[in-house]
Amino acid sequence: MALYPFLRTAYLDALADTGATGRAAGWHDLSPGNAADGWMPLYAKDNPWGEYVFDHQWAHAYQRYGLAYYPKLVTAIPYTPVPGPRWSLPAGVDPADWLWPRIQAQLQETGASGWHLLFPDTAAREALSELPLISRQACHFRWFNRNYANFDAFLDALVSRKRKGLRRERRRISEQHLRTARACGSAIPEPWWDAFYACYASTYLKRGQAPYLSQQFFRLLAARMPEQLMMSVAFDERDPATAGTDIPVAAALYLFDDRRLYGRYWGALRDYDALHFELCYYQGIEFSIEQGLDEFDPGVQGEHKLLRGFEPVITWSLHHLVDPRFQDAIGDFCHREAAAVAAYREEALTLLPFRAGHL
């Protein structure tokens, strides 16, 4: 049984073992408990990097009042804005009873301004409903498998104009003399891994940034949890340097469990028309249908996902600020923000490409 991949020791240890987390990276691990008696990820943070729940204005407000926002405590999967469980507890243990005393103790010991639980799933959020936590909402996009037999069956659910648009985008791949392929786990060819990392790193370098994650991190994932990895790649048959070889010019790496596919990492060595949509969306949709997965989470942001069948969904974060003045003020802000998020989602629903009565 393939469990939620991002809470696995293999995933979190790969982050720590390659320096993506740790004190030097700004993710100081304070995780309480152990695998047998109960455990959850907990980090002391002195910056907002890699969280994807943006609280810069909260930090600025603390600064204006001469107070320190950092360190703060964060329970999250580093660099991974994917909803899911956020602890592992023995059966019968109440999460709130187990968690809250440990959070309070760490807040006092570290002098942190508060605790932030990022992207909990519904079960985790409901388990903490009686605690003094502020709920904050955001809107992400997700594809849902409505028992489609194949990709064409998914296309048949779209209005004609949108269906033609998606087919046109997919044709652009062969028109550019690109060939695509995908593989899972240990079947991912060795040359793909080096090419993948070159592509992934290029997306950061084009913006003048260094990648969050190292090549060794991905190698450790391949070694420690290959059964939950899928890679889709593209080959340029006109590129004299790679034509006829097993060296991709673009790649996307996914993780998956028994119910969901998670699109996480992508890059290309050069720009190709519609290739991002092919490797990061359409290949993922095809894989989800073939594997009988219920959902496909392609990552954060991007209204362009709507026109390709990804539906707007609400995601959550929970927050507790030690200073009651900021707890009240930020609670009021999040309440007002939620109304705007709900309005955004309602508007986004009107842009979906499905035929009437499909949803």
Q: How far apart are CA 305 and CA 312, in angstroms?
A: 9
* pLDDT band with cut points at 50, 70 and 90 for residue 240: confident
What is the pLDDT, as a whole number, of residue 181?
Answer: 97
pTM (2 d.p.) = 0.95
Q: Are strands 250-256 and 178-184 parallel, antiparallel or unpaired?
A: unpaired
The phi, psi pair for 142, rounded to 5°, reads: -145, 145
Residue 336: pLDDT above 90? yes
What is the pLDDT, as a whole number, of residue 1?
Answer: 62
**Which pLDDT tens digit goes with each residue over 341-358?**
999 999 999 999 999 877
Domain ranges of the chain: 5-138+313-349, 146-293
Residue 2: pLDDT above 90? no
Residue 241: pLDDT above 80? no
What is the pLDDT, as a whole number, of residue 358?
Answer: 79
Residue 242: pLDDT above 90? no
Mean pLDDT of the chain: 95
Residue 254: pLDDT above 70? yes
What is the pLDDT, as a whole number, of residue 149?
Answer: 98
What is the pLDDT, as a whole number, of residue 357?
Answer: 79
Residue 184: pLDDT above 80? yes
CB 257 within 8 A of CB 2: yes
Residue 260: pLDDT above 90? yes
Residue 253: pLDDT above 70? yes
**Which pLDDT tens digit goes with each residue over 94-148?**
999 999 999 999 999 999 999 999 999 999 999 999 999 999 999 999 999 999 9
- State mean pLDDT over 79-99: 96
Residues 6+ away with beta carbon under 8 Å from 289: 145, 148, 149, 150, 151, 153, 154
**Which pLDDT tens digit goes with each residue over 261-320?**
999 999 999 999 999 999 999 999 999 999 999 999 998 878 899 999 999 999 999 999
* pLDDT band with cut points at 50, 70 and 90 for residue 56: very high
Task: Give the 3-state secondary structure of residue 94.
Answer: coil
What is the pLDDT, as a whole number, of residue 245?
Answer: 74
Q: How far apart are CA 359 and CA 357, in angstroms?
A: 6
What is the pLDDT, as a whole number, of residue 280?
Answer: 97
Tokens describing residue 148: 């489609």
Q: How far apart are CA 3 and CA 195, in angstroms?
A: 28
- The CATH number fitting domain 146-293, selected from 3.30.43.10, 3.40.630.30, 3.30.70.790, 3.40.50.300: 3.40.630.30
Q: Are strands 38-39 and 260-268 parallel, antiparallel or unpaired?
A: unpaired
Residue 37: pLDDT above 90? no
What are the C-alpha distances in Å from 317 to residues 70, 114, 136, 314?
18, 13, 5, 10
Residue 15: pLDDT above 80? yes
What is the pLDDT, as a whole number, of residue 300?
Answer: 83
Architecture of domain 5-138+313-349: 3-Layer(aba) Sandwich (3.40)
What is the pLDDT, as a whole number, of residue 207?
Answer: 84
Q: Are strands 260-268 and 72-75 parallel, antiparallel or unpaired?
A: unpaired
Q: Do domains 5-138+313-349 and 146-293 have the same CATH topology?
A: yes
Of the candidates 294, 278, 310, 288, which has an alpha carbon nearest to the alpha carbon of residue 181?
278
Q: Residue 69 CA to chain centroid, in angstroms?
A: 25
